[in-house]
Amino acid sequence: MSPVPKPHESVEPLVASLPTPADLPDYARKTLEAIAPGFKLTDDRLREITHSFLHDFELGLSKYGEPMAMIPTYVTGVPNGKETGTFLALDLGGTNLRVCEVKLLGNHKFELRQQKYKVSDTLKTGEAVALFNYMADSVDAFLTERASIDPNQQNEDLLLGFTFSFPVEQTALARGELLTWTKGFSAKNAVGHDVGQLLQDAFDRRHMHVKCVAIVNDTVGTLMTRAYTGGDCLLGSIFGTGTNGAYVEDISRIPKLAGHPAVANGGKMVINCEWGAFNNTAGLRTVLPSTPFDNKLDRESINVRKQAFEKFISGMYQGEILRNILLTLVDHQPPILFKGESSATLNKHYGLDTAVMSDVENAQTLADVRTAVSAGLGLPLESVSDLDAWIVRWAAEMVATRAAKLSGAAVAAILVQTRHARLQGYGDPAEPIKTPGVMHVGVDGSMVEFYPHFEERLRSALRALVGEEAEKATKIGMAKDGSGVGAALCALQAMKQLTA
């Protein structure tokens, strides 16, 4: 069996750097070499992107209505691991709905009972009331079947944190209007409405003794969970169906909150960046490396010109970018892939799951790549030659490397924004930077959890942007169950802030 070439450091040389199969025809090589530069991210380009990120941060912190919303969460404290109590959490994130009961044990540890419920496309795209009724029914079913506490045996309502991972402009911990749907949701009569109230109304219609006291973005949950389990945490970020980050900002640096009673005493507040929307308005002047494959994805998406950054990075989109590349190669005359044969998976919009790319990149030998390609694309094994397998691997690696490097630019932007690292050409070089021994970044999502080389590729961009010392000091740790535990921690924070 021929070994698969190791992933190369940069997308730059691509075809040239890999031991190119001897039987790659000249016309195919030329086509691949024409595609590759579009995915290239030089260090200069990455720096330009990070500068642009910081610029969008500043805009979002100073004004409402900016594409990168920089949403104040009204969470003014992060946990230290000593917190106790039992709370409910409901997590609507993208692919699944989860209901959890979280028991905080007060020693950085917790116990979690949970149940997942499927969210059908009908619910995602139907009436909002039906979606929120379904969520209330799921909590009800959970309380009957799985929970250790019985709300009917309690004097007080059970407190619930609602992890709702869409852009919500919050006005209080439990209040906030949905700005826009993302990640394939489009339920009607939700945008512009208070999602905390929509959920509470659904509970109340069922006379349930449950009170929603916090709306929590999954990034905030990830940040809170990491702080609870591991101490200090600088950034909570998600690389799953979508991508986003939340970090702790000085209230003095959030001009749009000036005069708000909630910030009269200064201090800090967690900001939900909604960085998936980075570069939305740049249009043709985009600093992001858009290729025809990205443009096709965007045009055919339900949110054209929105979530520009997310469309390069997250699990929902990477498979689709790859599908667009592969189809171009299938349809090329003469065919470059599969002798021009396609498959139901390849022909279907969003038919190619990013998990298939994971499998293709995880394969250790070319024979294993062939198997992964055949299984993932739904093509008979005999239709996938060694050369086909190599080309799919090449394309997957190119898409995923670009995604991970762009993710590194987002992390770098937060390090610079919080004065933990310097970026060439940005800010006052005389201003001191904080240099803690370790900078903790809590992460969650299938991309970081399962995608091979994701962290290593992200780090290569981080190193290029903020230098080796800062990169080495950055500890990236999974905040497993972040959305559940984080919602419980926000419910507790709400209780503290209410009784303060």
Nearest CB to ligand ADP, comparing residues 187 and 421? 187
Q: Which residue pairs from 57-66 have beta carbons closer than 8 angstroms and sit at least 24 positions apart in sequence?
A: 57/273, 57/413, 57/417, 60/273, 60/274, 61/249, 61/253, 61/254, 61/255, 61/256, 61/271, 62/255, 62/256, 63/256, 64/169, 64/256
The residue annotated as part of the active site, out of 165, 358, 446, 460, is 165
In DSSP terms, 102 is beta-bridged to 87, 112
| Nearest-angstrom CA–CA distance, 72 and 82 | 25
Instruction: Verify binding: residue 275, ligand ADP, rule CB under 6 A.
Output: no
**Long-range contacts of the stretch 282-290 (C-beta < 8 A, 24+):** 282/52, 282/308, 287/45, 287/48, 287/49, 287/52, 288/49, 288/312, 288/406, 289/38, 289/39, 289/40, 289/41, 289/45, 289/402
* CA 227 – CA 4 distance, rounded (Å): 40
Distance between CA 116 and CA 413 in Å, rounded?
Answer: 34
Total residues contacting Mg ion by CB under 5 A comes to: 2
Active site residue 301: no
Of residues 74 and 164, the one with the C-beta less far from ligand ADP: 164
Q: How far apart are CA 332 and CA 326, in angstroms?
A: 10
Taking the least distance from each CB to ligand ADP, the nearer of 50 and 219 is 219
Binding mask 190-229 for Mg ion (x = CB under 5 A): ----------------------------------------
* 455 is a contact residue toward ligand ADP (CB under 6 A): no
Identity of the residue, 93 or 161, whose beta carbon is nearer to Mg ion in the bound complex: 93
Q: Which is nearer to ligand ADP, 94 or 289 (CB)?
A: 94
Among 446, 460, 474, 493, binds ligand ADP (CB under 6 A): 446
Q: If contact means CB under 5 to 8 A according to the sort of partner, which of Mg ion, ligand ADP, none does residue 316 touch?
A: ligand ADP
Active site residue 165: yes
- Given candidates 67, 72, 161, 315, which one binds ligand ADP under the rule CB under 6 A? 315
Size of site (CB under 6 A) for ligand ADP: 16
How far apart are alpha carbons 25 and 169 in whole angstroms?
54
* Distant-in-sequence, close-in-space partners of 329: CB < 8 Å, separation ≥ 6: 28, 31, 335, 336, 337, 391, 395
Query: To the nearest whole angstrom, how small is the minimum distance from the Cβ of residue 319 to ligand ADP?
Result: 6
Report the residue from 60, 240, 276, 289 that binds ligand ADP according to the rule CB under 6 A: 240
Nearest C-alpha neighbor of 275 from the set 397, 154, 100, 410: 410
Q: Counting contacts by CB under 6 A, is residue 376 touching ligand ADP?
A: no
Return the residues of window 379-408 that contact ligand ADP according to CB under 6 A. Answer: none
447 lies in the binding site for ligand ADP (CB under 6 A):
yes
* Amino acid making up residue 19: P
Q: Cα dihedral sign for 58, 61, 64, 67?
A: positive
For residue 141, give every residue at least 6 positions away whose Cβ sits within 8 Å of its Cβ, in sequence order, or none.
Answer: 115, 117
Judged by CB under 6 A, which of 232, 353, 368, 386 binds ligand ADP? 353
User: Min. distance of Cβ 352 from ligand ADP in angstroms?
Assistant: 9
Site map for Mg ion, 440-479, x if CB under 5 A?
----------------------------------------
The active-site residue out of 56, 91, 218, 294 is: 218
Interstrand relation of 158-164 and 84-92 (parallel, antiparallel or unpaired): parallel
Structure tokens that stand for 153 in this block: 């045996």
Nearest-CB residue to Mg ion? 93
Instruction: Compute the CA torsion angle 279, 280, 286, 292 (nearest 10 deg).
Output: 120
- The 50-89 contact track toward Mg ion, x by CB under 5 A, reads ----------------------------------------
In the complex, residue closest to ligand ADP by CB: 240
Contact 88, 158 (CB under 8 A): yes
Binding partner at 442 among ligand ADP, Mg ion, none, C-beta below 5 to 8 Å by kind: none
**CA dist., res. 203 & res. 177, Å (int):** 18
Scanning the structure block, which residue is given the tokens 């990075």? 313
Closer to ligand ADP by Cβ: residue 74 or 293: 293
Distance in Å, CB of 273 to ligand ADP, minimum: 16
Q: Which of 223, 316, 377, 421 is the binder for ligand ADP (CB under 6 A)?
A: 316
Q: Which of 47, 56, 91, 98 is catalytic?
A: 98
* Closest separation in Å from C-beta 93 to ligand ADP: 4
Q: b/e per residue, 293-314, with b = 16+ CB within 10 A?
A: bbebbbeebebeebbbbbbbbb
Q: Which is nearer to ligand ADP, 68 or 316 (CB)?
A: 316
Q: Tell me the two tokens of residue 261.
A: 């009673």
H or E segment and range at residue 414: helix 386-417
93 touching Mg ion, by CB under 5 A: yes
* Contact in structure between 399 and 322 (CB atoms under 8 Å): yes
Enumerate residues 74-113 that contact ligand ADP by CB under 6 A: 93-95
79 versus 484: smaller Cβ distance to Mg ion: 484
Between residue 229 and residue 248, which ones bind Mg ion under the rule CB under 5 A? 240
Q: Quick one: which of 241, 301, 343, 474 contacts ligand ADP (CB under 6 A)?
A: 241
Q: Which residue has the tokens 């939900």?
A: 272
Positions 7 through 66 that interact with ligand ADP (CB under 6 A): none
Q: Sheet holding 158-164: strands in order across?
A: 110-118, 96-105, 84-92, 158-164, 210-216
Among Mg ion, ligand ADP, none, what does residue 354 contact (CB within 5–8 Å per kind)? Answer: ligand ADP
Active-site residue numbers?
98, 165, 218
Could you list the residues that contact ligand ADP (CB under 6 A)? 93-95, 240-241, 315-316, 353-355, 358, 445-447, 450-451
Could you list the residues that contact Mg ion (CB under 5 A)? 93, 240
